[in-house]
Chain A
Amino acid sequence: MGNLCHFARFDLKPAFRIDLDDLGVRYRKRAREVHPDRFADAGEREKRQVLEESAALNDAYQVLRSAPMRARYLLSLRDGELPLEVTVQDPDFLIQQMQWREELEELQDSADLPALAAFKQRLKAAQERLNDDFELCWQDSARHAEAVRLMRRMQFLEKLNHEVRDLEERLDD
């Protein structure tokens, strides 16, 4: 059971575009069936199994509801595990990255909260575009390299979003 495909756990076919509300409904239904609270009386062995099952379900849910993680997972289903950190050959995006980082530094200095909110909105729009592009190419084996590149871009954006969150926290002091 532990090796069941993340999508199969929710009776879904592997896809990039998924309805997150529907996924939530499926998750809660499954979680009810395998949560340790329902096995408070069970033997140690069964409890351990349920714990593992429940943890695996939580893990699957977390992967599928995040676009970057879902994209990465889809590619790994086909190509096997992808290394987490690689030197990305993506000069166009590199320039974009540098611009964003500069902006973030300026925002840190200016502590301009409305500008920070606007910046977040732009990152969100960039993520949406990546989602659209990824959807078009991930199933096409001829465009495999492009799909991997888009997935790496998503990962960068995710990291940048974390940095934005950290900045928000620092500015909240």
Chain B
Amino acid sequence: MALLQIAEPGQSPQPHQRRLAVGIDLGTTNSLVAALRSGIAEPLADAEGQVILPSAVRYHADRVEVGAGAKAAAAIDPFNTLVSIKRLMGRGLDDVQQLGEQLPYHFVAGESQMPFIDTVQGAKSPVEVSAEILRVLRQRAEQALGGELVGAVITVPAYFDDAQRQATKDAARLAGLNVLRLLNEPTAAAVAYGLDQQAEGVVAVFDLGGGTFDVSILRLTGGVFEVLATGGDTALGGDDFDMAIAGWMIAEMGLSADIEPGAQRGLLRAACAAKEALTAATSVVVGYEGWQGLLTREHFDGLIEPMVARSLKSCRRALRDAGLEAHEVEAVVLVGGSTRVPRVRTAVAELFGREPLTDIDPDQVVAIGAAIQADTLAGNRREGEELLLLDVIPLSLGLETMGGLMEKVIPRNTTIPVARGQDFTTYKDGQTAMMIHVLQGERELVSACRSLARFELRGIPPMVAGAAKIRVTFQVDADGLLSVAARELGSGVEASIQVKPSYGLTDGEITRMLQDSFQHASDDRDARALREQQVDGERLLEAVQAALAADGERLLDAEERQAIQIQMDELRSLLAGQDQAAIEQQIRRLSQITDAFAARRLDATVKAALAGRNLNEIED
């Protein structure tokens, strides 16, 4: 085979290899993977041609099922089928208890404060469940692109806090993905639109997904996407619309609110179908187990009004934070499946006084933007063509001070990366240690903020109260992840941590999960080996084809040509299948039979070269 691919010295036999990088939208309801192919960013489809992967994971006793099949089983196997898992990412058991009535799962406590869900395969954390989804997308991408990925850009809601971002990064790690960057979803959407339309000016991105809501205000200038402000709600989305309809159904049917999990899933599915129907229809007949009721769009609008109002309030706040009036926004982009709801569209149009843009499929736009950024980060873009995304932290970061108050160190909507220090002192004579409690949130009281981490600075030399000077430095990187260091300036005593969120996984838990994922790794390896073999086979076919076209008539007789043709056809049919060993064997067979041909070609080439002719003239 090597001999067939004749190339001039120093010239690569293949066209310039791009570094393979993808963008992944890990959504509450649906997930997607996209990549740049021939200069166009597009979502990658699975073997059945489906682009969207429902974010549902079903644990069977002996295997894991991800996607549409799992989603369909939600009502019949509710305890082992995990949906909307994104809502639990980076959350503690306490938070989950609040969501408890909506979730049928059996929660168990782990080493960390993270909620684990009891399944037929044992306790699973939201991070592991998300990793299953990411793993499927990674395999899809490697199949489609024919090689190993250098990395992925994974999108997160802009309003995700530090714990939720860490959880997402942990999930990627478990899935064997190198995270090039965590990218905020609205920023990704702006990239997809901005590039497409060469836009300049102020843009608002309204992103209402299945479970999260974000709004970002950006200024676009010559390839620079500068986020001015962001706002949102990590517990507001289309799921809530479904629940509002389900609540209405329960009331209409006169059922008690205490419903067993299977029935609850069934209700939610009927509710979701009704919601979707109301995008086009002005009324819909909702049916559930013999009961039927008419839901008008008007009534539906009323049911969801409180949630729509909440989203608009976030928009007004983001505008205030950006120091802008609604009319100063020059374009409004709608993202997320829930923006298909007509009431959402009219409400957004009213607030900004202009019709929102929906040219790019709202389900795909985030993944497309992420793919474009992944291409930049992988170094595939030419110098000067790189985009620059300047994002912000969504929530203020601070420390607990005396009296249970939160002292802000970095206010929300500060551009990242950012590093900022604040000085504190001891309050007791001879104090040698100090507790540092890192918080995130907007409220004054510590109890109303999210506790990110606690650590202790020890070994402060004993001094009178107020004499020690302790500088606490916060650093937030381009992924929006925080690390904190503390240092006593007089003595140089130091303590620092990469913030391990209180709701994050412990090292022990991560180790166990990584071990678990090694079992999967063998499946992954098989899939990769198959794909690599397929790529080799395709390359060989192309090379032989090219060689035949160039020199077949001249160097081979009809019988020889036919023998090669037969082996090529055989390889071609095997490539469509999954039998890696058979493909490998056939590649060898085809290589062997073409060896003599290759030798004759080389011979001819050498002769031609000796005759002073250029190789290209022969190949052409």
Determine if B377 and A54 form an interchain contact, defined as CB atoms under 8 angstroms apart. no
Using Cβ atoms and an 8 Å threshold, which residues of chain A touch B417?
36, 51, 54-55, 58
Determine if B390 and A31 form an interchain contact, defined as CB atoms under 8 angstroms apart. yes
- Known A-B contacts A37-B181, A37-B386, A37-B388; the reply to A51 vs B316 at CB < 8 A is no
- Interface: A44 (CB within 8 A): no
Determine if A36 and B478 form an interchain contact, defined as CB atoms under 8 angstroms apart. yes
As a 0/1 sequence over residues 444 to 455 of chain B, the CB contacts with chain A under 8 angstroms (1 = contact) are 000000000000
Candidates A28, A38, A173; contact of B386 at CB < 8 Å: A38
Using Cβ atoms and an 8 Å threshold, which residues of chain A touch B379?
40-41
Using Cβ atoms and an 8 Å threshold, which residues of chain A touch B420?
59
Using Cβ atoms and an 8 Å threshold, which residues of chain B touch A38?
386
Determine if B419 and A59 form an interchain contact, defined as CB atoms under 8 angstroms apart. yes
- A51 and B483 alpha carbons, distance in the complex (Å): 12
Determine if B376 and A36 form an interchain contact, defined as CB atoms under 8 angstroms apart. no
- Interface: A122 (CB within 8 A): no
Using Cβ atoms and an 8 Å threshold, which residues of chain B touch A75?
none
- Interface: B434 (CB within 8 A): no
- Interface: B510 (CB within 8 A): no
**Smallest beta-carbon distance A134→chain B, Å:** 21
**Smallest beta-carbon distance B259→chain A, Å:** 33
**Smallest beta-carbon distance A9→chain B, Å:** 14
Candidates A37, A58, A59, A168; contact of B377 at CB < 8 Å: A37
Determine if A36 and B477 form an interchain contact, defined as CB atoms under 8 angstroms apart. yes
Determine if B317 and A169 form an interchain contact, defined as CB atoms under 8 angstroms apart. yes
Using Cβ atoms and an 8 Å threshold, which residues of chain B touch A17?
none
Determine if B419 and A37 form an interchain contact, defined as CB atoms under 8 angstroms apart. no
- A155 and B313 alpha carbons, distance in the complex (Å): 28
Candidates A32, A55, A62, A173; contact of B475 at CB < 8 Å: A55
- Known A-B contacts A168-B320, A169-B320, A172-B316; the reply to A28 vs B419 at CB < 8 A is no
- Interface: A144 (CB within 8 A): no
- Known A-B contacts A54-B417, A58-B415; the reply to A37 vs B316 at CB < 8 A is no
Candidates B313, B320, B419, B478; contact of A35 at CB < 8 Å: B478
Using Cβ atoms and an 8 Å threshold, which residues of chain A touch B222?
28
A154-173, CB < 8 A from B: 165, 168-169, 172-173
A23-50, CB < 8 A from B: 24, 28, 31-32, 35-38, 40-41
- Interface: B180 (CB within 8 A): yes
- State the majority secondary structure of interface residues on A: helix
**Smallest beta-carbon distance A19→chain B, Å:** 16
- A58 and B317 alpha carbons, distance in the complex (Å): 23
A128-173, CB < 8 A from B: 165, 168-169, 172-173
Determine if A55 and B418 form an interchain contact, defined as CB atoms under 8 angstroms apart. yes
Candidates A32, A54, A165; contact of B320 at CB < 8 Å: A165
- A101 and B313 alpha carbons, distance in the complex (Å): 26
As a 0/1 sequence over residues 50 to 89 of chain A, the CB contacts with chain B under 8 angstroms (1 = contact) are 0110111011011000000000000000000000000000
- Interface: B307 (CB within 8 A): no
Candidates A35, A51, A165, A169; contact of B388 at CB < 8 Å: A35
**Smallest beta-carbon distance B320→chain A, Å:** 6
**Smallest beta-carbon distance A62→chain B, Å:** 7
- Interface: B585 (CB within 8 A): no
Closest to A56 in B: B419
Closest to B316 in A: A172
As a 0/1 sequence over residues 196 to 217 of chain B, the CB contacts with chain A under 8 angstroms (1 = contact) are 0000000000000000000000
Determine if B478 and A37 form an interchain contact, defined as CB atoms under 8 angstroms apart. yes
- A28 and B386 alpha carbons, distance in the complex (Å): 13
Using Cβ atoms and an 8 Å threshold, which residues of chain A touch B377?
37, 40
Using Cβ atoms and an 8 Å threshold, which residues of chain A touch B386?
32, 37-38
- A28 and B388 alpha carbons, distance in the complex (Å): 9
Using Cβ atoms and an 8 Å threshold, which residues of chain A touch B475?
51, 55
Using Cβ atoms and an 8 Å threshold, which residues of chain A touch B226?
28
- A28 and B320 alpha carbons, distance in the complex (Å): 23
- Known A-B contacts A52-B419, A55-B418, A62-B415; the reply to A172 vs B388 at CB < 8 A is no
Determine if A58 and B418 form an interchain contact, defined as CB atoms under 8 angstroms apart. yes
Closest to A169 in B: B317
- A51 and B475 alpha carbons, distance in the complex (Å): 9
- A59 and B420 alpha carbons, distance in the complex (Å): 8
Determine if A62 and B224 form an interchain contact, defined as CB atoms under 8 angstroms apart. no
- A58 and B320 alpha carbons, distance in the complex (Å): 21
- Residues of A at the B interface (CB closer than 8 Å) are 24, 28, 31-32, 35-38, 40-41, 51-52, 54-56, 58-59, 61-62, 165, 168-169, 172-173
Q: List 18 A-B contacts (CB under 8 A).
A: A24-B221, A28-B222, A32-B224, A36-B477, A36-B478, A37-B388, A37-B478, A38-B386, A40-B181, A51-B417, A51-B477, A54-B417, A54-B478, A55-B475, A58-B414, A58-B415, A169-B320, A172-B317
Q: Across chains A and B, which 6 residue pairs bring their CB atoms closest together, nearest first?
A: A55-B419, A36-B478, A55-B417, A40-B377, A58-B415, A28-B224
